[in-house]
Chain A
Amino acid sequence: MLFKRIATPLVVALVAGGSFAAAVQAQDKSEFFDQAEYDRQIQLLDAQPMGPEGKPWLQSMMDNYRDTSQYKKEGPWVVCFSQAGIFNPWQVVGNQTMKEELKLHPEIAEFIMTDAEGKDDKQIADINDLLASKRCDVLMVTPNTTAALTPAVERACEELPVIVFSRGVATECPVSYITPIGGYAFGAQAARFVSENLPDGGNVLALRISPGVDVLETRWSAAERVFAENEKIKVIGAEFTNDDRAIAKSIVEDYLQRFGKIDAVWMDAGATSAAAIEAFEDIGADIPIFTGEDQQDFLAKWKEEGLTAIAPTYPTFQWRTAVIAAKMILSGEPVPGPIWYLPQPTITNDNLDKYLQANMPPQHYALCGCEEMDGYPEQWGGSK
């Protein structure tokens, strides 16, 4: 039996190969720190937004409106959108909100969307295809990763007005980069909350989604600095979960085994907060200080267990803003730029009840700015 002779070495080779690949994966230290931007974001947290009351997706935290009369065009328009992908619940909620916003604009005759499925190379090709088609009046981009997409966005800027949101690029060529106040503010708020609630210090575990995305790197680099200022705080680990519940839960369990006690879990995003909390429940440990985001499952757990928690947000209502910005630019109306800072509300014990929506699915983001829209709540998976 020739096959029998080769089968075992084949299995062994499979295992060994996989092992080697996993073992050489290195983690880079954050290269994403900019002191001036950090200071600006911390300041903006206390600023008064401009724009219509109660409609944060139309507001701006700064008076930096720029002229767009050069882009003014007769309608109807073709709006193009190169999307990084729909691979997490935040993007699912955002997409739904964007779809509903599009229904409000009859002057947008056509909406052409490409989905890069989370791959940089596909997104670069997508953007080139959209430019080559010569059909777009404006291009919206949600970059998959910062560095890889920068050249493609720069090429697009030479041909038409570009709007970037969700994640950033390393260029100021877009007419407007739409972002909530930002990652430094997000990360620092959560880290300060942990630091202030641990007067005697303790073990802090940091859970991150994945490396190389600016809006996530800034969150961690800000938190790292806040924790470094407090010598009683010991960061026992910073691990990547890939936004996966099973990975997040087993990482927390591993750290519980190794250290016996975790006093706080700092997270750069909330999709796996509820899974991380379960690790403490299953082992019968008290749930420590937690930071999360505006997902319903986390907010419900917070309320139920009376947690010491905070949720900085990265509001999904920015998906509305992107469509509105496209319309404003093609109408020649001034828009905030090169960066449009949107408000970034924070959920605390004081306003938790306002954002807790029992009729919405567990991974719905409370800050969708969609409650008044036509399809709400059913289109977002909720019930009346």
Chain B
Amino acid sequence: MSTHQHPQEFVSPRWSLLSRIEPIYIILAAIILAIVLSNPIYADYGPMMQLLRRASPLIILAVGQLFVIVSGGFDLSVGSLITFIVLLSALVLNTHPEQVYASIALCLAIGVVAGGLNGLVVSVLKVPSIIATLGMLLAYRGAGLYLSGGSARGNLPDAFRAFGRETIYGFPLALIVVLVFGAFAAWTLHGTNYGRQLFAVGTNPRAARLSGVNVTMVRVVAFIFSAVSAVIAAILLGGFSGVSTAVGNGYELQAISAAVLGGAVLLGGRGSVPAVIAGAIALHALFTLLNIWGFPKPMRDAVQGIIIIGAVAYSARRG
């Protein structure tokens, strides 16, 4: 377990430079190199962009999850929220295909409400976030199945699907969404007063409260960030593959894996947006590498389990 102190390691000067680089960047470079060596086609611009495009929903989701993790909690509800949003959009747009932007606005509003609800249950009702969001996971899953009657109904028009499928001069639209969202998240977490308060709440909520931080507000905003990231990921995923009842499956754990891989410390107080983005790309690239090497899909889950355990053990030793 981490003891929320800043690392006071003794390092020889030769290693000091290396130890200052977040390990995730080295891991990411190694995985990308392994991919290119295993299948040289990935040295090309097109396939590399394709890889990044497929990683886009996870990047956005991991960054949203980071806010909740820094605050000291978890958000397990994002995967089934993704599925719910995709199914809902399909139903709405099936009858009014011209209302693409209105439906996206509606989904974002649902995200704000869903996140606010998570945050209030955690802060005001004092339900631990892992339990609260597990309950929400079941609620959205049930709502999604109820809406769709168990099968993917309706249809997503091309204008909606553009975010997940289209490119501009060979550059995927999804990556533009990632860049905008990532820049905004990095500025919020590392450049504003809110970000500082979030770190304070994650490190020591009592101390933060005593020094005048509105802990409830800070936590609610973190959960809203996470839920809105799930809605954006849903729009990209729905665009990418159309209507599906399995679209969000397993994404909550992928997001947590990506965040800890990117150096975020579970139970709060430490993490950085660029490193988590690298973590999400690394996790997705690792899945791609396992696939190129011919490992079956279930191996990915096993690998994720090992990653979470390994990353937590690593940060506990470092912390």
Write the residues of chain A forming the contact surface with B, with a CB cutoff of 8 angstroms: 3-5, 7-8, 10-12, 14-16, 18-20, 22-23, 25, 85-89, 91-92, 117-118, 242-247, 249-250, 253-254, 257-258, 260, 274-275, 278, 282-284, 361-363
Contacts and interface: CB of A to CB of B under 8 A. Distances in A.
A85 B152 CA distance: 13
Contacts of B292: 257-258
B41 interface: yes
A88 B151 contact: yes
Contact of A8 (B165, B267, B291, B302): B267
| A5, A20, A244 — most chain B CB neighbours (10 Å) | A244
Given A23-B302, A244-B244, A246-B242, A15 B257 contact: yes
A120 to B, nearest CB: 15
Given A7-B74, A244-B246, A25 B150 contact: no
A332 B297 CA distance: 54
Interface footprint category on B: 35 or more
A19 B291 contact: no
Cβ-closest 8 pairs across A and B? A19-B301, A246-B244, A246-B241, A22-B298, A16-B305, A23-B298, A87-B151, A19-B305
Interface string B284-314: 0000100110100111011011001100100
Interface string B63-78: 0000000001010000
Contacts of A91: 151
Given A12-B305, A257-B288, 13 more contacts: A19-B298, A19-B302, A22-B297, A87-B151, A89-B151, A246-B244, A246-B247, A249-B241, A254-B291, A258-B292, A278-B241, A282-B50, A282-B165
21 contacts: A3-B128, A7-B130, A7-B266, A11-B130, A15-B253, A15-B304, A19-B304, A86-B149, A87-B150, A87-B151, A92-B151, A92-B153, A244-B152, A246-B242, A249-B241, A260-B41, A275-B242, A278-B241, A278-B242, A283-B46, A283-B50
B47 A283 contact: yes
B150 A85 contact: yes
Nearest to B268: A4
Interface of B: 1, 39, 41, 46-47, 50, 54, 72, 74, 128, 130, 149-153, 155, 165, 237, 240-247, 250, 253, 256-257, 266-267, 288, 291-292, 294, 297-299, 301-302, 304-305, 308-309, 312
Nearest to B51: A257
Contacts of B50: 282-283
A310 B62 CA distance: 42
Nearest to B244: A246
